[in-house]
């Protein structure tokens, strides 16, 4: 316990490389009540699953708790007041409201809907690779990972691809509110960018309320279920912000860290290039290993008990998907990247229970098609980049990676 009590779980160095600390949590205190923060950290596979499946006790309405000091910062509040009121929709809402919002935008993200995107994903991956393939090197993050994911979500939402650079900036701004060690100037800048994005999307929403178009944004804006009213502009903006962030940051991170894993494990790369039917399982193993949506909050609604530890009503819990996915009891030799691992697909990278990732079929499709195209056209990857991660409280995402490769 000494190591645990001495370590600040939100120290940027722990957030950037969390695996040693997480192992210590699993071995010494699977439900750890941190005295410094008051938070309960849950780190083993079984207990993380137990929390995720019990939304009646573990609430996702944590958005007010995140405000903290920011709720008293007048300059910040003045910027935010220029935007739309914050509405809790899917990720930060509990059933039955969460279910209502989710069903309003579920259809375009179903397995059968996203299957139709395969040809476009293939075209997009090839188009991006065409630009750098003859050079034998590229900035993998900027030239492939980011534009692939951002382009896809822009296409799905039906917003102009020329605005793609803005989406990335806005998506990053949404994420910065969860980052550790942000200066106040950075926070204010992010708040302004979030407000800018809200006005951009409000205009697109109003356009579609007047005249429906054939895209997901139109579906989201105009759909009502069981005779209910469609969502209002503020609700739509909240849903779109979630889709934008979830659709950008996570898939991008798996492509970036996934490339690093293939470089560091040439035997695994050779196996997949020899037998491309391994790609779907390689993708699941990358999701398990990288777990970009690393941890998430829950608020305890009633006095409860977890793994023998009493947790009082009102307590804050942090669910550590990234730790569950390395739990040796479930994943022997869990720090090893193994494209043939039999239970990779049982990972918790997409969460579990009522909040299980809405975009999981889309993310899987993007990763499978993207890697298929990459591994058909490129091999012998190398890098001199040492992979570094952003110190975020919720996401575990690499900063960047440059690579060299041979053209096939």
Residues that bind ligand HEM (CB under 6 A): 60, 90-91, 98, 102, 153, 242-243, 246-247, 250-251, 254, 292-293, 296, 321, 349-351, 355, 357-359, 362-363
Identify which of residues 76 and 369 has a Cβ nearer to ligand HEM in the complex. Answer: 369
Identify which of residues 198 and 251 has a Cβ nearer to ligand HEM in the complex. Answer: 251
Identify which of residues 29 and 299 has a Cβ nearer to ligand HEM in the complex. Answer: 299
By the 8 A CB rule, do 312 and 35 touch? no
Distances (CA, A) of 340 to 93, 245, 285, 350: 37, 30, 8, 20
Handedness of CA 269, 270, 271, 275 (dihedral sign): positive
Nearest to 285 by CA among 320, 251, 325: 325
Identify which of residues 174 and 250 has a Cβ nearer to ligand HEM in the complex. Answer: 250
Residue at shortest CB range from ligand HEM = 359
**Quick one: which H or E segment has residue 299?**
strand 295-300
Q: What is the DSSP letter of 38?
A: -
- Residue count of the chain, please give it: 408
Identify which of residues 346 and 382 has a Cβ nearer to ligand HEM in the complex. Answer: 346
Task: Provide, rounded to whole angstroms, the least separation between the CB of residue 65 and ligand HEM.
Answer: 14
Identify which of residues 90 and 272 has a Cβ nearer to ligand HEM in the complex. Answer: 90
Task: Provide, rounded to whole angstroms, the least separation between the CB of residue 246 and ligand HEM.
Answer: 3
Task: Provide, rounded to whole angstroms, the least separation between the CB of residue 5 and ligand HEM.
Answer: 28
Task: Provide, rounded to whole angstroms, the least separation between the CB of residue 356 and ligand HEM.
Answer: 6
Task: Provide, rounded to whole angstroms, the least separation between the CB of residue 98 and ligand HEM.
Answer: 6
Identify which of residues 187 and 290 has a Cβ nearer to ligand HEM in the complex. Answer: 290
User: CB within 8 A of 144, min separation 6: which ones?
Assistant: 125, 128, 129, 138, 255, 374
Task: Provide, rounded to whole angstroms, the least separation between the CB of residue 173 and ligand HEM.
Answer: 17
Instruction: Tell me how far apart the alpha carbons of residues 78 and 333 are, in angstroms, rounded to a whole number.
Output: 51
Beta bridge partners of 402: 139
Q: What is the DSSP letter of 395?
A: B
By the 8 A CB rule, do 329 and 45 touch? yes
Task: Provide, rounded to whole angstroms, the least separation between the CB of residue 134 and ligand HEM.
Answer: 30
Task: Provide, rounded to whole angstroms, the least separation between the CB of residue 90 and ligand HEM.
Answer: 4
Task: Provide, rounded to whole angstroms, the least separation between the CB of residue 19 and ligand HEM.
Answer: 17
CA diameter of the chain: 62
Task: Provide, rounded to whole angstroms, the least separation between the CB of residue 55 and ligand HEM.
Answer: 9
| Residue 345, token pair as written in the block | 């697909």
Identify which of residues 30 and 359 has a Cβ nearer to ligand HEM in the complex. Answer: 359
User: CB within 8 A of 198, min separation 6: which ones?
Assistant: 83, 84, 237, 241
| Residue 320, token pair as written in the block | 């550590």
Handedness of CA 261, 266, 268, 269 (dihedral sign): positive
Instruction: Tell me how far apart the alpha carbons of residues 341 and 345 are, in angstroms, rounded to a whole number.
Output: 9
Phi, psi (deg, nearest 5) at residue 273 = -70, -30
Identify which of residues 122 and 155 has a Cβ nearer to ligand HEM in the complex. Answer: 155
Nearest to 292 by CA among 361, 395, 180: 395
Instruction: Tell me how far apart the alpha carbons of residues 189 and 197 are, in angstroms, rounded to a whole number.
Output: 12
Identify which of residues 193 and 363 has a Cβ nearer to ligand HEM in the complex. Answer: 363
By the 8 A CB rule, do 66 and 55 touch? no
């Amino acid at each position: 316990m000494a190591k645990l009590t001495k370590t600040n779980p939100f120290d940027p160095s722990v957030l950037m490389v969390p695996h040693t600390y997480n192992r210590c949590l699993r071995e010494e205190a699977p439900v750890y009540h941190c005295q410094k923060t008051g938070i309960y950290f849950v780190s083993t596979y079984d207990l993380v699953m137990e929390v995720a499946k019990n939304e009646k006790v573990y609430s996702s309405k944590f958005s007010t708790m995140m405000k903290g000091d920011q709720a008293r910062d007048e300059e910040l509040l003045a910027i935010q007041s220029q935007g739309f009121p914050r509405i809790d929709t899917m990720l930060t809402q509990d059933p039955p409201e969460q279910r209502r919002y989710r069903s309003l935008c579920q259809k375009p993200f179903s397995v059968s809907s996203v299957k139709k995107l395969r040809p476009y994903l293939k075209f997009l991956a090839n188009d991006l690779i065409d630009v750098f393939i003859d050079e034998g090197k590229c900035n993998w993050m900027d030239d492939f990972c980011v534009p692939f994911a951002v382009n896809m979500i822009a296409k799905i939402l039906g917003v102009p691809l020329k605005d793609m650079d803005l989406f990335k900036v806005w998506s990053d701004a949404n994420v910065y509110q969860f980052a550790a060690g942000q200066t106040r100037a950075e926070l204010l800048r992010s708040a302004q960018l979030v407000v800018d994005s809200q006005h951009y999307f409000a205009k697109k929403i109003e356009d579609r309320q007047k005249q429906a178009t054939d895209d997901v944004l139109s579906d989201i804006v105009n759909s009502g279920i069981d005779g209910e009213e469609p969502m209002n502009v503020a609700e739509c903006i909240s849903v779109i912000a979630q889709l934008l962030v979830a659709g950008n940051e996570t898939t991008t991170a798996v492509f970036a860290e996934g490339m690093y894993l293939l470089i560091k494990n040439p035997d695994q790369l050779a196996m997949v290039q020899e037998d491309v039917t391994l790609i779907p399982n390689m993708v699941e193993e990358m999701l398990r290993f990288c777990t970009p949506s690393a941890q998430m909050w829950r608020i305890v609604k009633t006095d409860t008990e977890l793994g023998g530890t009493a947790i009082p009503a009102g307590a804050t819990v942090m669910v550590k998907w990234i730790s569950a996915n390395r739990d040796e009891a479930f994943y022997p030799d869990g720090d090893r990247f193994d494209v043939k691992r039999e239970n990779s697909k049982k990972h918790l990278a997409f969460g579990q229970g009522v909040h299980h990732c809405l975009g999981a079929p889309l993310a899987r499709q993007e990763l499978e098609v993207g890697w298929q195209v990459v591994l058909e056209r490129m091999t012998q990857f190398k890098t001199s980049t040492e992979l570094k991660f952003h110190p975020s409280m919720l996401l575990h995402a690499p900063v960047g990676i440059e690579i060299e490769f041979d053209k096939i």
